[in-house]
Amino acid sequence: MKISIPLIGLLLASSTSVWANQTASDSQRLEQLEQQIAELKEKVSSNKKATSDLTPNIKVGGAVRFQYSYEDYNDANTDRGGDFDFDVFRLDINGSIGDVKLSAQYRWYQYMNVVHHAYVAYDFNEHWEGQIGITQVPFGILNYNSNSFFFSSGYYAGLEDDFDTGLSFIGQYDNHDIRIAFFKNDELGGIDGYVDNRTDRYSYDVVGIRDVNSEGTWDKPGTAMAESNTLNVRYAYKFNNTEVGVSLLSGGLEGSSGSVGDHDAFAFHVKSKIDNFGIMFQYSEYEYDLDNNSDFVAVGAYSFHDTIPAEASLYNLNLSYSKNVALGPITNLTFYNDYNVMTDKSGSFNNDTKMNVTGVAISAGGIYAYVDYIVAKNQPFIGGTMAGDSSDTNKRFNINIGYYF
């Protein structure tokens, strides 16, 4: 059979076209497959990164501390030449999981076990951080309004290094430090907290209304009370090596059957460092405005009750000098003098609370020690109480040594 040349040409042209179309189709499929493989690799990489971001980055640390004290107001102590005791063992946990940070500290004393703080935090942006849990109350000079182991007198009135349960927001804008916090109640759950002893706590809080006519200064109060729904606002402006700030606090007071009053506080502070010299000044005032007009409230901490005036003003002036040295293992000595006065107390008082602490803080590797000489009047832990009206001056020599890891 004969086939004409035009027919053969037509068949060849058709075959070439089919082959070309098939080749183009295969090439497109290959490109699609390569694109899909690239997308899968990117997803796998993203999943690995997300999994890696959620890997806990936690650091565990802590401290153990011991204390020697010689107290001229305690005859048994002076007869023994002072006492040397175990103070505290603590564990610190700090770190992050993903974008969420966490911080917690638990303490074991000889006479109580307590949570110092425990919160989670999140950075909303480069300026704002939020915290929820048992977190520090933003009031006055932070983190401490003192240099010595004994804090300032304000600590024993709940105005220094206080921790409560709630929300806190910290804003940092250039020279501006802004802190806003709302605390539902204290760290032990407030008036109905499920705890065995409401005085087993690190920071001072009110625990009752004190009836001085029928109760002793250190008795358990007959009428329970606790802080509730407290709003804190603190603003500080930083320039050069100086910080100037104001703090406001306002909240309610709850009894077992409802509201029993409210409480307010205000502080103005200045903190500065000039070369090796440091200075802190703070003026504070507080008021527990009780429905029954009581002049005293019961507070609790360190496993015992005490009493403070329902209203008072506090002044403190702290001076320090830091010096790096090379004395065997000792690398730094910080000398200081902290002076405190509580005045304008509610009730019939003729004598203020006063405390002056002269001391030195010693750094040597993991060891940090305070050597303090305290002269005080009507001051807790120095033979007195803020609800006292004694004219006697008490003295205490104290050494607290801690190893931090």
- Number of C-beta neighbours around residue 204 at 10 A: 25
- What's residue 1's pLDDT? 45
Radius of gyration over alpha carbons of the chain, in Å?
Answer: 32
Least confident of 19-28, 160-169, 180-189, 226-235: 19-28
The secondary element (H helix, E strand) that includes residue 161 is none
Q: Which of 16-25, 27-36, 134-143, 365-374 has the lowest mean pLDDT?
A: 16-25
> Mean pLDDT lowest for which of 48-57, 328-337, 381-390?
48-57
The Cα 76–Cα 99 span in angstroms is: 55
Consecutive H or E run containing 77: helix 75-79
| Structure tokens that stand for 284 in this block | 């504070």
Tens of pLDDT, residue by residue over 249-266, are 999 999 999 999 999 999
Q: Would you identify the CATH topology of the domain 55-404?
A: Porin (2.40.160)
Mean pLDDT over each residue of the chain, to the nearest integer:
92
Supply the pLDDT for residue 11.
37
The predicted structure's pLDDT at residue 324: 97
- Position 35 scores a pLDDT of 78
Are the beta carbons of 244 and 270 closer than 8 angstroms? yes
Residues 6+ apart with CB under 8 A from 321: 276, 277, 278, 334, 335, 336
Q: Using omega within 30 degrees of 0 as the cis cutoff, is the peptide bond preceding 197 cis? A: no
What pLDDT score does 31 carry? 73
Q: What percent of the chain has pLDDT over 70?
A: 90
SS (H, E, C) 344-395: CCCCCCCCCEEEEEEEEEEEECCEEEEEEEEEEECCCCCCCCCCCCCCCCEE
What pLDDT, on the 0 to 100 scale, is given for residue 19?
40
Mind listing the pLDDT tens digit for each residue in 196-241? 899 999 999 999 999 998 999 999 999 999 999 999 999 999 999 9
Percentage, residues of the chain above pLDDT 90: 84
pLDDT-based confidence at 51, cuts 50/70/90?
Answer: low
For residues 8-24, average pLDDT: 46
Is-contact 386 375, C-beta < 8 A?
A: no
Q: What is the pTM of this model?
A: 0.86
Among 28-37, 152-161, 209-218, where is mean pLDDT lowest? 28-37
Give residue 7's pLDDT: 40
Is-contact 151 132, C-beta < 8 A?
Answer: no
Residues facing residue 203 across a β-bridge? none
C-alpha span between 263 and 259 (Å, rounded): 12
Average pLDDT over residues 82-103: 97
Task: Quickly state the pLDDT bin for 88 (edges 50, 70, 90).
Answer: very high
Question: Residue 16: what pLDDT?
Answer: 47
301-347 pLDDT, tens digit each? 999 999 999 999 999 999 999 999 999 999 999 999 999 999 999 99
237-260 per-residue burial string, b: 16 or more CB within 10 A, e: under 16: eeeeeebebebebebebbbeeeeb
C-alpha to C-alpha distance for 381 and 104, rounded to whole angstroms:
27
For residue 147, which amino acid is it? N
Three-state DSSP class for residue 298: strand
Q: What pLDDT band is residue 170 in, cutting at 50, 70 and 90?
A: very high
pLDDT of residue 32: 75
DSSP state of 138: -
SS3 76: helix
Q: Which comes out higher in pLDDT, residue 51 or 35?
A: 35
Containing 17, the helix (H) or strand (E) segment is: helix 5-53
Residues 6+ apart with CB under 8 A from 263: 206, 227, 230, 249, 250, 251, 252, 253, 286, 287, 288, 289
- What is the DSSP annotation of 202-267? SS-EEEEE--TTTS-TTSPPSEE-EEEEEEEEEEEEEETTEEEEEEEEEEEEEETTEEEEEEEEEE
Q: Give the pLDDT score at 10.
A: 40
In contact, 260 and 169? CB cutoff 8 Å:
no
